[in-house]
Amino acid sequence: MTDKFVQVTADVAPSAASIFAVLANPAKHVEMDGSGMLVLARAPEVITAVGQIFAMSMKDEQGRSYEVDNHVAAFDADRHIAWLPGAAGAEPLGIRWDWVLEPTETDTRVTQRCDWSQVTNERYLATFTLPRVSAEKMRASIEKVADLASRVGEQP
């Protein structure tokens, strides 16, 4: 971990396409969340392009509810998806969540990265310790994504 980002990588069995299908579906984000902060996808349409916004109901570390709009910043099917959260109706704060998928000979290498190097809001920086989600919770998210992705082909 550095002062401005945390990154976790794991090799998992499901294909990049199955993993990407989970990541591109905001309705699945609560199930894949290792932090316990996501509550509900308020706009669960499947992500198909950069520029889309998907909304989530969240709860903070003390259990207080809040709403975020996630602005899709990268979309390369089966390879890379990223979003920048911000308060509902507001511009992103400068925190970026990236998921990069790389097929290996036997598995898929999944890298999840939270980068807050672009956060400039002094009030936010004074209020919150970053990252708000630990590497352990990010690792749990990768495991949950892999579990959900392993079931993608089983669903009717």
- The per-residue pLDDT for 153 is 54
Domain count, the chain: 1
- The per-residue pLDDT for 62 is 86
- The per-residue pLDDT for 145 is 97
pLDDT digits (tens), the chain, 156 positions:
447 999 999 999 999 999 999 999 999 999 999 999 999 998 768 999 999 999 999 998 889 999 999 999 999 999 999 999 999 999 999 999 999 999 999 999 999 999 999 999 999 999 888 888 999 999 999 999 999 999 875 443
- The per-residue pLDDT for 156 is 38
State the CATH number of the domain containing residue 70: 3.30.530.20
What are all long-range contacts of 2-7, with beta carbons under 8 Å and residues at least 24 apart?
A: 4/115, 4/116, 4/117, 5/113, 5/114, 5/115, 5/116, 5/117, 5/131, 6/113, 6/114, 6/131, 6/133, 6/134, 6/135, 6/138, 7/111, 7/112, 7/113, 7/114
80 and 74 Cβ atoms separated by less than 8 Å? yes
Domain that holds residue 139: 5-154
pTM for the full model? Answer: 0.93
- The per-residue pLDDT for 8 is 98
- The per-residue pLDDT for 60 is 87
Pairing of strands 5-12, 38-41: unpaired
